[in-house]
A = this chain, B = another copy of it.
Amino acid sequence: MVSTSSTSPIGTRTKQLSVLKFGGTSVKSVPRIQHVAEIAQKRLKDGPLIIVVSAMGDTTDYLLKLAKQCASNPDKRELDSLLSTGEQISITLLSIVLQSMGVRAKSFTASQVGIFTESVFSKARIVDLKTDALQKSLLNTDVLIVAGFQGITPEGDITTLGRGGSDTTAVALAAAMDAEVCDIFTDVDGIYTADPNSIRNARLLKEISYEEVLEMARLGAQVIHPRAVELGRQYGVKLRVRNTFKPDHEGTIIHGGDKVEIYRTVSGVAVDKDQARVAIMDVPDQPGVAGKIARAMADKNIVIDMIMQAVHPSLGLNNVTFTVHETDLDETKKVLQELKVKLNAGEVLADSDIAKVSLIGAGMVGQPGVAAKFFEVLGGANINIKMIGSSEMKLTCVVSKEQASEAARLIHDAFELHKA
């Protein structure tokens, strides 16, 4: 074929390439896979497609269960190779369905594409993505179906990308292949101003910035994984969150452009109930106490979220308080009990009855009225604030679990987030 443009990486394409990603629930059965194929077929009029799919429904859980029957702590290299079969099954089935509909389709494992990662198992990061095989196939194929979640090391070992891996594969492909857009198909309509299941008048956002959705995702509004959003931000990939079961809906566009709704002061409320709070009291003041605690936690691979340190200068003692994921609470307490002896500290306290309620908005910077209003609303409803944290785009109050939804609803109303 003759290339009409030597500057375009895909010189012979006249229509723009799009990347579509479908998660496990979207391909959990053959009828669901057929539905995905229909979405793809309709989209073909706009140009060729790369489709990234996850493993079918419960396949990954089933394979994990098999591995656990074989050993309580299965080798990670073997586990990654095992789990990668899940996506290999879904890509081939989708390709078979598309071909039976007369669409020129072809499946690719990570190895067949050349999605190279670090030599780290179960949570590898992509370091290089070859586009040759995909570019060549686009000359005679309209839909390239790529296995999400997996990669390959330069030595040929199969890796997996960890949580949010398929989203990351999709965005990385969109960046490398210079796609017009990367659509993340999921089972919700897009990104809302708050969780629509608990806040009735939550409003679907048409557009939002990478930064805001990053703050939201970490707080539980997990329609798209933060790693993927971060990658999209880095390479300026236009992302779109859409509903697999309402393929004609527009969904929410995530980008860094001018028309984003970040110019409103606040854009959403998020609730995260899977948190616990711990504190180590009366730590004798010495340089690097917080560092020692953080290192001890990191050694156990436990992520510390909100952290604060209160010093009593006259006593020379610190109280260090932080939040962790609820499932890490027992391990955290154990680590702190050991540390307590080393640091000659006082009591270790733990509280699992907490939830984080956060207000997100890139326009909050330098607007002290926002925080004041937040605290007043909670105070007026007799909701006790256990802890406060803030970043440039986020204000978080820790409250008891049972009051969290009520707090979110009140905040959503007070800031009139239901209005466009």
Interface residues of A (CB under 8 A from B): 30, 33-34, 63, 66-67, 69-75, 77-79, 81-82, 84-85, 88-89, 91-93, 95-97, 99-100, 106-107, 109, 111-112, 133, 156-158
A88 and B96 contacting across the interface, CB-CB below 8 Å: no
Q: Could you tell me the distance in whole angstroms from the C-beta of A188 to the nearest C-beta in chain B?
A: 27
Instruction: Assess the A67–B81 pair: CB atoms within 8 A.
Output: no
- Asked whether, in the complex, the Cβ of A88 is within 8 Å of the Cβ of B82, the reply is yes
Report the nearest B residue to A29, measured CB to CB: B69
User: Among B70, B85, B93, which residue has its beta carbon within 8 angstroms of that of A97?
Assistant: B70
Complex-state Cα separation, A70 to B99, whole angstroms: 10
Contacts of A91 in B (CB 8 A): 81
Complex CA distance for A287 and B156, rounded to whole angstroms: 56
Please indicate the chain B residues that have their CB under 8 angstroms from the CB of A99 in the complex: 71, 74-75, 78
On whether the beta carbons of A71 and B85 are closer than 8 Å, the reply is no
Most buried by B among A96, A99, A111: A96
Interface centre among A70, A71, A82 (most CB of B within 10 A): A70
Instruction: List chain B residues, Cβ under 8 A from A67.
Output: 92-93, 96
Instruction: Select from chain B the residue with minimum beta-carbon distance to A114.
Output: B156
Q: How far is the CB of A199 from chain B (nearest CB, A)?
A: 40
**For residue A75, which residues in chain B have a CB less than 8 angstroms away from its CB?**
95-96, 99
A96 to chain B, nearest CB (A): 4
Residues of B within 8 A of A96 (CB): 67, 70-71, 74-75, 78-79, 82
Residues of chain B within 8 A (CB-CB) of A33 are: 70
Q: Nearest Cβ distance between residue A2 and chain B, in whole angstroms?
A: 23
- In the complex this chain forms, how many copies of it are found? 2
CA of A171 to CA of B33 in the docked complex: distance in angstroms?
39
Chain A interface, >50% SS class: helix
A133 to B156, CA, bound (A): 10
Contact A156 B95 (CB under 8 A): no
Chosen A-B contacts, 12 in total, with CB atoms closer than 8 Å, are: A30-B69, A67-B92, A67-B96, A78-B92, A78-B93, A78-B99, A78-B107, A79-B96, A82-B88, A82-B93, A112-B156, A112-B157
Shortest C-beta distance, A58 to chain B (Å), equals 14
Given A78-B99, A82-B88, 7 extra CB contacts under 8 A? A70-B93, A77-B106, A78-B107, A81-B92, A82-B93, A88-B88, A111-B111
Q: Is the CB of A70 within 8 A of B100?
A: yes
| B109 lies within 8 A of A93 (CB) | no
With A71-B99, A85-B85, A156-B133 known as contacts, the answer to whether A79 contacts B66 (CB < 8 A) is no
Contacts of A78 in B (CB 8 A): 92-93, 95-96, 99, 107
Which 6 pairs show the lowest CB-CB distances between chains A and B? Answer: A71-B100, A85-B85, A82-B92, A78-B92, A70-B96, A74-B96
By a CB distance below 8 angstroms, the chain B residues around A93 are 66-67, 70, 78, 82
Question: Which B residues lie within 8 Å of A63 (CB)?
Answer: 89
Residue of B nearest to A87 (CB): B85
Interchain nearest-CB distance for A208 vs B (Å): 36
Partner of A88 from the list B66, B73, B81 (CB cut-off 8 Å) is B81
Complexed CA–CA distance, A111 and B113 (Å) = 13
Task: Output the least CB separation between A21 and chain B (Å).
Answer: 20
Q: Given A96-B67, A111-B111, A156-B112, A85–B89 Cβ distance below 8 Å?
A: yes
